């Protein structure tokens, strides 16, 4: 199973670079992302509640009328997020909730795989 690259942009005026939990969060979702059959990279946005569970619809960013390939990529990204949050949500530090309450994820295929 091929794995893509996953970039995380936390939608908050403060960028969370240097936060240890950011890499763990990115790796957890990336490990759940099945890129088999995926030919497009996509960006999604969603919010998390204080328990680290998805609390809003997961939205495709920047594409109003997705192609079939973009829809497939979006659905694979959505499945990865929901699968990895588990029943108890993502293990994220409550003290930094303002940093991870709203998240934008770039699901990017490795060069040559698209």
Q: What are phi and psi of 8, to 5 degrees?
A: -115, 130
Q: Where are the domains of the chain?
A: 21-36+48-54+67-102
> pLDDT (tens digit, 0 to 9) for every residue of the chain, 114 residues total?
444 555 555 444 444 445 677 778 888 888 899 888 899 999 999 999 999 999 999 999 999 899 999 999 999 999 999 999 989 999 999 998 988 899 888 898 876 555
H/E run at residue 25:
helix 20-32
DSSP secondary structure, 45-110, as one string: EEEB-TTS-B-S--EE-S-SS--HHHHHHHHHHHHHHHHHHTTT-----GGGHHHHSEEEEEEEPP
Tell me how far CA of residue 29 lies from CA of 22, 26, 74, 90, in angstroms: 11, 5, 14, 10
């Amino acid at each position: 199973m091929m794995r893509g690259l996953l970039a995380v942009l936390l939608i908050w005026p403060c960028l969370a670079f240097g936060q240890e939990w950011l890499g763990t969060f990115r790796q957890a979702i990336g490990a759940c992302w099945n890129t088999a059959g995926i030919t497009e990279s996509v960006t999604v946005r969603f919010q998390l509640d204080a328990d680290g569970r998805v609390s809003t619809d997961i939205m495709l960013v920047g594409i109003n009328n997705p192609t079939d390939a973009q829809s497939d990529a979006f659905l694979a990204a959505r499945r990865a997020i929901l699968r990895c949050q588990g029943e108890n949500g993502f293990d994220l530090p409550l003290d930094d909730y303002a940093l991870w309450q709203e998240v934008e994820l770039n699901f990017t295929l490795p060069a040559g795989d698209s």
